[in-house]
Amino acid sequence: MKRRVELRLPSRMEYLGVPDVVLAEVGGELGCARRRLEELGTAIIEACTNAMEHGNHLAEDLCIEIWLDLAEDLITVTVLDHGPGFDHAGWRPSDDVMRQRGRGLLIMREFTDHLEFGRHADGRFLTRMIKQMAPEEEPSADGSE
């Protein structure tokens, strides 16, 4: 089973939650564990924040595009924007816990199994994340995990 769900959103912050809602819906239908869907959803929100803010500079006439590719136990997410990209190869996590910005990449990396950046054939900047899905576990009869 392979399916793709595509979304196209104007670069407005109030739409950041839309892909998260769609992921919860389609992932829930597939029986994916809620925790994994929430982790991937959090990573998608970060990718979309970057795409809207740094890629499209919040220009409403520029849309970001999100593809959710659903396989049996794997979800691949692609986020496309019109920005120049950034030096992801040179990125290192900061040790300053109190910094006000710069956690987006860390969150994307920690909440997915694979994270890559590149350029689509049409020139748009591309963020791709892959996460293994697990089925939601039925609670056992004695209530234990």
Partner 1 sequence: MKIRERKRDGVAILEMSGKLMGGPDADAFDETLKTLIHEGCRNVIVSMEKVSWVNSTGLGILISGYTTLRKSGGELKLLKVSDRIENIFIVSKLYTVFASFQDEDEAVRSFS
What are the residues binding partner 1 (CB under 8 A)? 13, 16-17, 20, 35, 38-39, 41-42, 45-46, 49, 53, 97-104, 106-107, 110-111
**Minimum distance between the CB of residue 85 and partner 1, rounded to whole angstroms?**
18
How many helices (H) and strands (E) are present in the chain, helices listed first? Answer: 3, 5
CB-nearer residue toward partner 1: 45 or 133: 45
Closest contact distance (angstroms) between CB of 122 and partner 1 is: 27
DSSP string, 115-142: EEEEE-TTS-EEEEEEEE--BPPPPPTT
The region that residue 102 occupies, defined by phi over 0 for left and psi between -120 and 50 for alpha, beta otherwise, is left
Q: Smallest distance from the beta carbon of 46 to partner 1, in angstroms? A: 6
